[in-house]
Amino acid sequence: MSPPARKPRHVAIIMDGNGRWAERRHRPRSLGHRAGARAVRVCLEFCLAEGTESLTLFAFSSENWNRPAEEVGALMKLFLRLLDHEVDELDRRKVRIRFIGERSGFPADIQGKMARAEAQTANNRAITLNIAASYGGRWDIVRAARALAEDVAAGRIAPTQIDEALFGQSLSLAGQAEPDLFIRTGGDTRISNFLLWQLAYTELWFTETLWPDLDDATLRQAFDDFAARERRFGLTSAQVATEAE
Ligand code: FPP
């Protein structure tokens, strides 16, 4: 009997290529983002069918605020529309929605709808969908460091208690499995200030496919490549083989 296929428990994705997808069609970049939202559904359905526990999507980086005002405005409109029209369906599918990032930068109506979406879906267990919005990996680490520094200053913990485990508990995504598989579409091979701490042992997978063109075949290839990789976490191959017995 062949061993069960190794599946990623947590998949983290940089959804890149929306702008180029639209530009190749001589259409505004905002159309690429709308097409990108359709690809999110494809990806979510695939992960639900695979039994993935967590899916983390980089929807808007800390740096994306510096894009032309027109594009930022179109993205805000899209986020608002998705929050208005998609949350009930996600809730019905038992998707738990979480937002990670500095949400104070968003307009008040978006912040309110983010909080409502989280509350409405808090008890769902089919999959956790983490949406990184106004997120940066460095922001996440600095925020955790500041929280721990405040705990030390207030006498709640001693500096010697700060270790990797406690630090990890202060970061976004605390309590979820660490990402097993990182996917970036759009051809660039960078992490771009995504989950800097959390990706320490994650398998990285890159594709030229532009995000709006994402399909099941591309995701299948990523999952199959992941299943074929040997994850050593700093050990030797022999040690990994012994541990698996
Ligand atoms: C990167 O492509 C994509 C974004 C900055 C926005 C991502 C947003 C969505 C896919 C829609 C909504 C999704 C959720 C989960 C709410 P790019 O514009 O940098 O593409 P380019 O590199 O071709 O210019």
In-domain check, residue 1: no
Q: How far is the CA of 122 from the centre of ligand 1 (A)?
A: 25
pLDDT tens digits for 26-54?
999 999 999 999 999 999 999 999 999 99
Evaluate if residue 195 carries a pLDDT over 60: yes
In-domain check, residue 53: yes
Q: How far is the CA of 103 from the centre of ligand 1 (A)?
A: 17
- Told to judge if 16 belongs to the known catalytic residues of this protein, a careful annotator would answer yes
Residue of 24, 33, 57 with the most ligand 1 atoms within 8 Å of its CB, for mutation: 33
In-domain check, residue 3: no
Evaluate if residue 142 carries a pLDDT over 60: yes
Q: How far is the CA of 211 from the centre of ligand 1 (A)?
A: 8
Angle between helix 29-50 and helix 69-85 axes, rounded to 10 deg:
40
Q: Residues 141, 142, 145, CA angle at the centre, nearest 5°?
A: 90
Ligand 1, CB within 6 Å, residue ranges? 15-20, 33, 36-37, 40, 57, 59-60, 64, 78-79, 82, 131, 186, 211
Residue 127 structural domain: 10-244
CATH of the domain at 105: 3.40.1180.10
Q: How far is the CA of 212 from the centre of ligand 1 (A)?
A: 9
What token pair was written down for 150? 């405040």
Q: Using alpha carbons, select from 218, 214, 237 the residue that is nearest to residue 226.
A: 218
pLDDT, mean of residues 183-191: 98
In-domain check, residue 5: no
Helix (H, G, I), strand (E, B) or coil at 186: coil
pLDDT tens digits for 67-119?
999 999 999 999 999 999 999 999 999 999 999 999 999 999 999 999 999 99
- Told to judge if 224 belongs to the known catalytic residues of this protein, a careful annotator would answer no
Q: How many independent structural domains does the chain possess? A: 1
Helix/strand/coil percent split, the chain, to 5: 50, 15, 35
In-domain check, residue 4: no
Helix (H, G, I), strand (E, B) or coil at 132: strand
In-domain check, residue 44: yes
pLDDT tens digits for 213-226?
999 999 999 999 99
Considering the chain, what percentage of its residues have pLDDT values greater than 90? 91
pTM for the whole thing? 0.94
Q: Using alpha carbons, select from 137, 131, 134, 135 the residue that is nearest to residue 118.
A: 131
CA 164 to chain centre: 21
Helix (H, G, I), strand (E, B) or coil at 70: helix
In-domain check, residue 169: yes
State residue 230's pLDDT score. 81
List the alpha helices (DSSP H) in the chain.
18-24, 29-50, 69-85, 87-92, 108-121, 137-153, 164-169, 216-228, 237-244
Q: Which of 16, 18, 140, 180 is catalytic?
A: 16
Q: Average per-residue pLDDT in the chain? A: 95
* Cα–Cα distance for residue pair 95/54, rounded to 1 Å: 10
In-domain check, residue 156: yes
The band of 5, judged by pLDDT with boundaries at 50, 70 and 90, is low
